[in-house]
Amino acid sequence: MNKSKKLSEKEIKKHIKNDAIVRVFGNIDSTNNEAKRLAESGFCVPTLILSEQQSAGRGRLGRSFYSPESTGLYFTVIIPVNFPLEDITLITPAAAVAVHRTLSKFTDKKLFIKWVNDIYCEDKKICGILAEALSSPETNSISAVAVGIGINLSTKDFPKDISSIAASLSLENADRNCIAAGIANELFAFTENLSAREFIPEYRKHSYVTGKDIYFIQGEETTNAHALDIDDDGGLMVLLESGETTTLRGGEISVRVK
């Protein structure tokens, strides 16, 4: 039986270092969807949206994120855009480091960041991150970023289609309130000065793909490569079979380790 504490607005607020609003749901379609609904209503302040489960959790490239009741941590951090818009692509690596830093305080297991937005443990995915821009209905311009984070803390049984690639941290007694607040605190601190890129060295250090043979999928095309390094903007520098080097950016590219 999962003994994780119930998610609690009051408990999370105890650990949050700023005046972020906290909203907790028992069940919701997707915390990122709720962030979009709030943005459409003109709401744009630092916020945490959490749910015990999601009926339609979402991942990158239109994929779903399995979100069973109480065995994971499913939440979205809304970050108002108070930074140069050209730095918005740094949000995902910043979030990955925030998750890595925080989870490392709760487990002795070795964690890695799989470019661009997953956290891996023992060669399997235990966390996914989905950053989406939110637009203001008044100005029709980007007003905030919704950073959706899904972590498998104690989930034991996964659907067949992901059972070979997904795992959990086996944290049966995890204080999810404390973990969520810790991640949010790190992320809010990073976004106060994204341009400084202070999280990039950690993003680089804990890379799951650097030094490995990979293939990446862009549209319908699959390309073999060797992962060389992470650049200062969070891009993945790769060596192609042709001998050329190129840098992969986020978006519609999916990377797999051979």
Yes or no: say if 150 and 50 are a contact pair by the CB < 8 Å rule.
Answer: no
Is the pLDDT confidence value at 1 over 60? no
Q: What is the mean pLDDT of residues 33-41?
A: 93
Strands 21-25 and 47-51: parallel
What are the pLDDT digits (tens) for 141-162?
899 999 999 999 999 889 898 8
pLDDT for the residue 3: 47
pLDDT of residue 62: 64
CATH topology identical between 9-205 and 213-257? no
Mean pLDDT over all residues of the chain? 92
Higher pLDDT, 93 or 161: 93
Look at residue 97 and tell me whether its pLDDT is greater than 70: yes
- Residue 55 and residue 163: Cα distance in Å, rounded? 19
Cis before 81 (ω within 30): no
Q: Which residues pair with 13 in a beta bridge?
A: none
| Structure confidence at residue 212 (pLDDT) | 95
Q: What is the pLDDT of residues 205-244, one digit of tens each?
A: 999 999 999 999 988 899 999 999 999 999 999 999 999 9
pLDDT of residue 111 exceeding 70: yes
In this structure, whether the domain defined by 213-257 belongs to CATH 2.30.30.100 is answered with yes
* Cα–Cα nearest to 30, from 49, 10, 43, 6: 49
pLDDT, position 104: 97
CA separation for the pair 20, 70 (Å, rounded): 23
Q: Band the pLDDT of 138: cuts 50, 70, 90.
A: confident
pLDDT tens-place string over residues 65-89: 888 888 999 999 999 999 999 999 9
Could you please state the CATH topology (level 3) that the domain comprising 9-205 is classified under.
BirA Bifunctional Protein; domain 2 (3.30.930)
Domain edges within the chain: 9-205, 213-257
Least confident residue range of 7-11, 147-151, 169-173, 189-193: 169-173
Confidence of residue 123 (pLDDT cuts 50, 70, 90): very high
Percent of the chain with pLDDT over 90: 78
